Amino acid sequence: MVIEDITGIICQLRETAFPAIENLIKKYGADNPSKLFSADYKPFFIGNIKIKNPVISAPMAGISDNTYRIFARYFGSSLLYSEMITSYGLFYGHEKSIKMTYATEFERPFTLQLFGSKPEIIASAAQMLEEKSEIIDINMGCPVPKVVKTGSGGALLRDEDLIRQIIKKVKQTIKKPLTVKLRLGWDFNSINIEKTALIAESEGADAIAVHARTVRQGYSGNAEYSHLRDLKKKLKIPVIISGDIDNPFKAYKLLNDTNCEGIMIGRAARGNPWIFAAILIGIILLDRNLFDENGADLEKKFKKDIDYFLNNDIKVKILILYLKSLIHFMEEEKAVKEFRKILAWAFRGIRNINDIKKDFFEINNFKEAEKIMDSLIGM
């Protein structure tokens, strides 16, 4: 099948989604809605790279591919990350790892995230990638046993000296800005975020992101932000907060309470790329005092308005474009398999479509997907 090029897909995405976004903003009385959505809002710098607003999409292995990133960008995410890529794989020239480093012009500024445990290997891999991204990031938080077993990811939080060596070596080797993504510590008995953050800054990291859980927690329990309240007071470099952020009210409160520069959205954006617009618009409206109600009612009302303006029919159209983009970047068969997951996430929690949901997992090609999507229009 012939799929439009990515520029065409992006044009259609804008035509489909932007009027809805503008109408949502207009409803709250803001002037010039398209400017409000696309202008800089509380920008900050990571090294010499301008990040135009605080809303950032998180790196997610198996998820944050080209399509995910392009859609996150067009809904407002100011910075995009690759999935984590093995520094060993890059160092030894493995094709699969090299393929993961590809990003289009629509994904800038773009951060390539590496994982590993050997300073020289990470530094060499980072050097190989310098021309491919605006920022290099090192993963220091992944809890997956396969990664931790090799001393990489979250395992590094148990070896502060190695963290120092890695950042120092990479910083000496590359010219591009360097960031690290940390967690609070290995476990609750060894919370060391303040120490690792200060090491990162003193060795020249240009920003940090912190997932507010321990490595041992994995993704269980709740993110615990109390450890981040005073962190920013001790650091000059930007801090990005990650963990359980899924609405503008929480994002706004966290940004204000901690003075951190950014917030990251991960799981809540799976199958739900419009969440970046909802959060960005929400925090701008909160900042401008454009909500005329308080508390829980306000949250409910805003959520209802988002669902009204970015309604089911628009979402279906956006998702078809998402599938076209997946097919642009990979073979149709693989793209359709990816898309099944996206659909299940996009329609999670929605009643009335349980019968259709099982059909999501039987889609085998674009035509079948389109047919199912058509049946979702008007639901």
Ligand X SMILES: Cc1cc2nc3c(=O)[nH]c(=O)nc-3n(C[C@H](O)[C@H](O)[C@H](O)COP(=O)(O)O)c2cc1C
String of contacts with ligand X for each residue 263-292, x by CB under 6 A = --xxxx------------------------
Local structure of 135: helix, strand or coil: strand
CB 78 within 8 A of CB 114: no
Segment holding 311, helix H or strand E: none
What residues pair up with 84 in beta bridges, in sequence order?
113
The residues facing 140 across adjacent strands are 182
Q: What is the DSSP letter of 257?
A: H
83 touches ligand X by CB under 6 A? yes
| 324 lies in the site for ligand X, by CB under 6 A | no
Residue with tokens 């520069």: 261
Nearest to 251 by CA among 41, 18, 26, 10: 41
Stretch that binds ligand X, among 45-53, 137-145, 229-237, 323-331 (CB under 6 A): 137-145
Stretch that binds ligand X, among 101-109, 238-246, 280-288, 325-333 (CB under 6 A): 238-246
Considering the complex, state which of residue 10 and residue 212 has its C-beta at the smaller distance from ligand X: 212
The interface with ligand X within residues 172-211 (CB under 6 A) comprises 181, 211
Q: Binding string to ligand X for residues 88 to 127, with x set by CB under 6 A, is what?
A: -------------------------x--------------
Please tell me the distance from the alpha carbon of residue 278 to that of residue 273, in angstroms, as a whole number: 10
Q: Which of 242, 247, 258, 325 binds ligand X (CB under 6 A)?
A: 242
CB contact burial 205-228 (16+ within 10 A = b; e otherwise):
bbbbbbbbbbbbbeeeeebbbeeb
Which residue's CB is nearer to ligand X, number 6 or number 223? 223
Please list, in sequence order, all residues whose beta carbon lies within 8 angstroms of the beta carbon of residue 179, skipping any fewer than 6 positions away: 46, 111, 135, 136, 137, 138, 205, 206, 207, 208, 209
Residue 299 CB burial class (10 angstroms; 0-12, 13-18, ≥19): middle
Per-residue contact string for residues 45-74; x = within reach of ligand X by CB under 6 A: -------------xxxxxx-----------
Residue matched to tokens 């590993």: 116
Closest approach of Cβ 141 to ligand X, in Å? 6
Q: How far is the CB of 181 from ligand X (least distance, A)?
A: 4
Residue 154 lies near ligand X (rule: CB under 6 A)? no
Chain residue whose CB lies nearest ligand X: 266
Distance CA 112, CA 101 (A): 7
Count of residues that interact with ligand X, criterion CB under 6 A: 23
Secondary structure letter of residue 225 according to DSSP: G
Q: Which of residues 247-266 bind ligand X (CB under 6 A)?
A: 265-266
**Of 20, 25, 51, 84, the one binding ligand X by CB under 6 A:** 84
Residue type, 46: I
Backbone dihedral angles phi then psi of residue 183, each to the nearest 5 degrees: -120, 180
Cβ-based nearer residue to ligand X, 33 or 109: 109
Among 6, 21, 85, 142, the active-site one is 142
Query: Which one of 66, 77, 117, 139 is in contact with ligand X (CB under 6 A)?
Result: 139
Q: Which is nearer to ligand X, 119 or 143 (CB)?
A: 143
274/263 Cα distance (integer angstroms):
16
Distance between CA atoms of 182 and 167, rounded to whole angstroms?
13
> Of 244, 261, 332, 338, which one interacts with ligand X (CB under 6 A)?
244
d(CA 125, CA 121): 6
Q: How far is the CB of 68 from ligand X (least distance, A)?
A: 11
End-to-end CA distance of the chain: 28
* 142 has catalytic annotation: yes
Q: Which is nearer to ligand X, 243 or 273 (CB)?
A: 243
Q: In this complex, which beta carbon is closest to ligand X, that of residue 215 or of residue 320?
A: 215
- Is the Cβ–Cβ distance between 310 and 282 less than 8 Å? no
224 part of the interface to ligand X, by CB under 6 A:
no
Among 89, 119, 243, 248, binds ligand X (CB under 6 A): 243
**Residues annotated as part of the active site:** 142
Binding site for ligand X (CB under 6 A): 58-63, 83-84, 113, 139, 141-142, 181, 211, 219, 242-245, 265-268
